[in-house]
Amino acid sequence: MTASKDTISARLLEWYDVHARTLPWRAPPGESSPDPYRVWLSEVMLQQTTVAAVKPYFAKFTERWPTVDDLAAAPEQDVMVAWAGLGYYSRARNLVKCAAAVKKLGGFPETEEELLKLPGLGAYTAAAVAAIAFGQRAVVVDANVERVVSRLFAIEEPLPGSRKTIRVKTDGITPDRRAGDFAQAMMDLGSGICTTRDPKCLLCPLSSDCQALKNDNPARFPIKAPKKIKPVRQGTAYWIERDGAVWLEIRQGTGMLGGMRSLPDDGWHSGGDGDGAAPVDADWEQLGLVRHTFTHFSLEMSVLRTSIQSDLAERIGQWWPVAEIDDAGLPTLFAKAARLVLARG
């Protein structure tokens, strides 16, 4: 039988006090709560992204915009460029909106209920900020917590259907005090001990309570529904050079990669294979394909190159020095295209 809530939380917090990861947005166990701005920023960045990938972005953001008021005053385009490469670009657009709302309020609200009213804050982020930054009792469930709890209680229902049960079980073991440390302890346990493959059960502070381990198959959990095969779209990107510069455009709207600099393309992002016309009438050189996977589909994008002498006055964009293309803040897909072009000389 699984141990009581108090036993599990006490055992995990005792482990966390010794083994907590040192992360730039965290306060060590036992110290004052961290700056809510840093907690919020890190949690937004960490959605669908690894800690290793987030660290340099977090350092860059907090150096350039050290407070939420600084970020609120930043032009959205600057934030989008700084975000380039992290993906899920709606998060970057919502950063500026949320920062402006927080500035107007005079600071971050302290409760889940009020945090949920901020632009772009979902249930997970609101719970994480409330617990970690303000010491509120909140139930924080990320992918690591899903894995730990699924194994701890041997939850047979497949994800994503089991998420309601996982939340109920997590609520049942979340302590009234140190809920933020408990949430971070669960994350650290899932990241370093209760890993997706080859969990290190001999090192786990909760091994004596783990129902999956008692059944001798912890790696079986969490059970996942079969993945749907992602459709593959086709598209084309155009590299247009003139006098050592390449033509870049700002993508319109708030949809896919909206607000980002990019190469001109044939409209593949509008919902199907690209069928738009080339941006200029020219002789195009076919350089090859780049591939990229989005949340709901994969893309195979041909890259075509040409050189021109005329301007592109009828199009909205700018000539960007090819030698400085790394500073353009291109999304990962178009950065891949740029690397292909440069590799072909």
Q: Which are the catalytic amino acids?
A: 43
Distance CA 53, CA 234 (A): 28
What is the SS3 assignment for the chain? CCCCHHHHHHHHHHHHHHHCCCCCCCCCCCCCCCCHHHHHHHHHHHCCCCHHHHHHHHHHHHHHCCCHHHHHCCCHHHHHHHHCCCCCCHHHHHHHHHHHHHHHHCCCCCCHHHHCCCCCCCHHHHHHHHHHHHCCCCCCCCHHHHHHHHHHCCCCCCECCCHHHHHHHHHHHCCCCCHHHHHHHHHHHHHHCCCCCCCCHHHCCCHHHCHHHHCCCHHHCCCECCCCCCCEEEEEEEEEEECCEEEEEECCCCCCCCCCEECCECCHHHCCCCCCCCCCCCCCEEEEEEEEECCCCEEEEEEEEEECCCCCCCCCCEEEEHHHHHHCCCCHHHHHHHHHHHHCC
Q: How many CB atoms lie within 10 A of CB 114?
A: 14
Distance CA 38, CA 68 (A): 9
Adjacent-strand bridge partners of 303:
237, 288
